[in-house]
A and B are shown apart, each in its own frame.
Chain A
């Protein structure tokens, strides 16, 4: 989570030029200037960064931490053989 969040924070700071101090896992998405399209884009970037495939475009996520947790979940699934075969 920590590593994922820090990586995500780096991407947000670079692509959206938000101040790093505003970005914590508890930060509500509504409080930073990231609309639903930007969140979709952010998830694309995270997919590339972590070599995972997201099944959502961020709907229902409330905080930056939610996104990081979701990516962590995808990483775990990717690294679990059972999840990969779908059985």
Chain B
């Protein structure tokens, strides 16, 4: 089995447009959640976590006409990750280097625009690029095209665990020796009227905190009311360990384990069984005991269901260690990036281990008897010795993906 190093990371997300800026804001407890700049009177929801991202500074106009926002975010995160990794690939390596990306909603704004043209304007003039912009694999495809990577190019769509699955599957590929390098991550751009309305209809979105809209996402708190949608992308360069060592690459951490399970029970309601199984499988694949984990970046969506079930699942897997291991939800600050969540939170987890600093769960003011772990409430915890950390990603549909990383 090969070991897998993370040698490059790129982030475009609420809270920051680079891994360092993103993580610094998390540690400082600065929320990326706010009132949407363009609020439709048809939306009850006014809050979301938008990325501070002006595509025109990254792409010329003709390119933008072919790229949905989700692909724009993915391409910019990829560029960062590759520059960060200072990677030089031989032609042979390009032929095996693949792109595994996760997205839940794909080109949501393009789909929205197309329907608006068709149904609202009663026009048949659908943009010629609509299919190419809206298809879920567009972002991954553009990454492959732009960087001439001709290994497998796959898009995983398992809702909110999409990008954790993408990273996990890429990890398996390098581990098995099938590829020396993989780009893996996720992207999501769901802040469109149609997508926001659909999520609103699902009754899972947080009620706005009228005193402080930025504090609307309250994971594990008794007064939590749901998730806050966010947009963004994170892409990681995964590299076979020896290759990374030979070229003297900066290693941000090692992906050490991956557990994948499916609830097989309900389309939205999570199960303790399914989540616990994914965590246990991740521990098994990393060959580490539960009490070696020094930090858990929780799925922590701030929905009533998730946070209680995840707490119970952590208790089941970690036993008495559950009372000692710090667990935090960075979603309290960057919101829920759906298909990009797993990758964005993996970056936070890797940097937590690397820096020894655990980002807090913001807005946790009222304890919930069903959520009784150490959630690192409201203030970051510094000078922690984190050799191994876990990050959880669960999903509608029931696909649970858990990654374990080791400090390099």
Name A's B-contacting residues (CB within 8 A). 14-17, 33, 37-38, 40-41, 44, 47, 57
Contact = CB atoms under 8 A, between A and B. Distances in A.
Contact of A15 (B65, B125, B129): B65
A15 B61 contact: yes
Contact of A37 (B60, B61, B125, B129): B129
10 contacts: A14-B61, A15-B61, A15-B62, A16-B61, A16-B62, A17-B62, A38-B128, A41-B129, A44-B125, A47-B125
Interface residues of B, number: 8
A37 B128 contact: yes
Interface string B35-77: 0000000000000000000000000111001000000000000
B128 A40 contact: yes
B243 interface: no
Nearest to B66: A37
Nearest to B61: A17
Nearest to A15: B61
B122 to A, nearest CB: 14
Contacts of B65: 15, 38, 41
Contacts of B60: 17
B127 interface: yes
A47 B125 CA distance: 10
A38 B125 CA distance: 13
A38 B63 CA distance: 11
Contacts of A16: 61-62
Nearest to A37: B128
Contacts of B129: 37, 41
A57 B124 CA distance: 12
Interface in B82-139: 125, 127-129
A45 B62 CA distance: 14
B182 to A, nearest CB: 31
Contacts of B127: 41, 44
A14 B129 CA distance: 18
Contacts of B125: 44, 47
B62 A41 contact: no
A76 to B, nearest CB: 22
Given A17-B62, A37-B129, 12 more contacts: A14-B61, A15-B65, A16-B61, A17-B61, A33-B62, A37-B128, A38-B65, A40-B128, A41-B65, A41-B127, A41-B128, A47-B125
